[in-house]
Amino acid sequence: MGVFISYSSRDREAVESIVRALQKARESVWLDREIGPGEQWWREILGQIRECEVFITALSENWEHSRACRAELEYAQALGVPIIPVQIGPLKSMVLNRVGHLQIVDYRVPTADTGITLTTEVRLKRDRQRPLPLPLSRARRNSSGSRLSSCATSSMNDSTTNIL
């Protein structure tokens, strides 16, 4: 899977322009709209984050207020997935934003140039991608065979289980 986009459903229209730009560049894009009826949606989302090569946050105040979006970002960060913050709407403060330390693609007014910038960033991030760590849900064993706990495993299981 190529690109996972984390977004607030309130920003769906703005996100569609990102999807169109990436698909024109022949990038594979996954949104939660692809979850079918009866599927365990949170498990599917976490699986897609584990499989993606690049994680895009579609930043807006709506995204900032979404517990699910914040949990998706935390999970991607814990996995070491390359992250591209894309601003699609107003934000109160970039300093307080969870990805404010990263260079942001300004996509509030989509143009051909911003589409090229975005697709270039996706390709650069994918080229620099690190190998995915072992699945977070598996406990590791030391040389004597006893189980070792993983801080990432317990913290991600706690935060992702309790988000909704």
Q: Which residues of 25-45 are buried (b: 16+ CB within 10 A; e: fewer)?
A: eebebbbbeebeeeeeebeeb
Q: What digits encode the pLDDT tens for the residues 136-161?
A: 655 554 444 444 444 443 444 444 54
In a domain, residue 159? The reply is no
In a domain, residue 122? The reply is yes
The structure tokens 């949104």 sit at: 31
In a domain, residue 44? The reply is yes
- Is the overall model pTM greater than 0.75, yes or no? no
Q: What is the pLDDT of residue 82?
A: 93
In a domain, residue 143? The reply is no
Q: Are 8 and 58 in contact (CB under 8 A)?
A: yes
Q: What is the pLDDT of residue 130?
A: 58
Q: Share the mean pLDDT of the chain.
A: 79
Q: What is the pLDDT of residue 135?
A: 65
How many structural domains are present in the chain?
1
CATH code of the domain containing 118: 3.40.50.10140
Q: What digits encode the pLDDT tens for the residues 92-134?
A: 865 456 676 787 889 999 999 999 999 999 999 888 765 656 6
Residues facing 54 on adjacent strands: 3
Q: What is the pLDDT of residue 34?
A: 66
In a domain, residue 146? The reply is no
The single-letter code of the amino acid at 149 is: S
Q: What digits encode the pLDDT tens for the residues 37-69?
A: 666 888 889 999 999 999 999 999 999 889 999
In a domain, residue 54? The reply is yes
What is the number of residues in the chain? 164
Measured distance CA(6)–CA(11) in Å, rounded = 11
In a domain, residue 121? The reply is yes
| More confidently predicted of 135 and 128 | 128
Measured distance CA(164)–CA(149) in Å, rounded = 25
In a domain, residue 56? The reply is yes
| Residue span of the structural domain in which 27 resides | 3-138
